[in-house]
Amino acid sequence: MNDSSELYFHQLPVGEMANLAYLLGSTTTRECLIVDPAWNVKGMLDQAEADGMKVVGALVTHYHQDHVGGSIFGMEIEGLPELMTRNPVPVHVNQQEAEGLRHVTGVSESDLVRHEGGDVVELGGVKIRLMHTPGHTPGSQCFLVETPQHAGCLVSGDTLFLGSCGRVDLPGGDPEALYESLHGQLGKLPDETLLYPGHLYAADPSSTIGEQKRTNPYLRVARLEDFLGFLGY
């Protein structure tokens, strides 16, 4: 997708819960970040190495085990601890998610870079804007990737999926916050913004914000009351 720009971007299907992880970075500096390292950390590092890219950090959309590692449903999912052993790097997390992340993965405070919404991580000419999008969890964040050549692509974690959105019935879930994140933030991005979700729950692995505004019931619904009704509240 990025022949003419310096954006390095790789979508990686991983694991048994249809997760989508990402590598994103700069072909100029040949540095990249891993988004949601879980399930197959070696595979992600191998991919980066095969592409001649150095992994210099991890971005965490949120602290659920299928995105960062940990035990859930009797499964042991590898994740950040594996990354810290193989290729230790700073882990960029929203400040509201940091405690949960430490609890779930056992990473230490010194491994973390705590962020607020609006912070930017820059690799070469590639800017990654950290959008704080609470709702699925209190510190969920989406990553808006921009280059001088690129209008933008959004890595949306479990906040927005193709045709649906993240669940709000887990601890820390907040339907009103999710409505605000979807309608007050993501829905206001330019229609041509490419959308890359945290799970492959649709036939296609990516979409655009404009397409989702037309077809995704959770973005189409206009009023908060209707949104809540739609979620079953």
Contact residues: Zn ion, CB under 5 A: 64, 158
Minimum separation from the CB atom of position 15 to Zn ion (A): 13
Cβ 210 to Zn ion shortest distance, Å:
25
Provide the 3-class DSSP secondary structure of residue 144.
strand
Ramachandran angles phi, psi of 176, nearest 5°:
-70, -40
Which is nearer to Zn ion, 64 or 132 (by Cβ)? 64
Identify the DSSP state of 37: -
Q: Residue 152, SS3?
A: strand
Measuring CA to CA, which residue among 151, 144, 156 is closest to residue 120?
Answer: 144
The least distance separating Zn ion from the CB of residue 136, rounded to whole angstroms, comes to 6
**127: number of CA atoms within 13 Å, CB side?**
12
Q: Which is nearer to Zn ion, 36 or 82 (CB)?
A: 36
Least distance to Zn ion from the beta carbon of 31, Å?
Answer: 27
**Which positions ≥6 away from 86 have C-beta within 8 Å?**
41, 42, 45
Q: Give the Cα separation of 51 and 25 in Å (integer).
A: 11
User: Based on C-alpha coordinates, what's the Rg of the chain?
Assistant: 17
Which residue, 10 or 64, is less far from Zn ion as judged by CB?
64
For the bound state, the minimum distance from the C-beta of residue 169 to Zn ion, rounded and expressed in Å, comes to: 11
Q: Closest residue to Zn ion, Cβ-based? A: 64
In terms of CB distance, is 33 or 60 closer to Zn ion?
A: 60
Q: Which is nearer to Zn ion, 82 or 158 (CB)?
A: 158
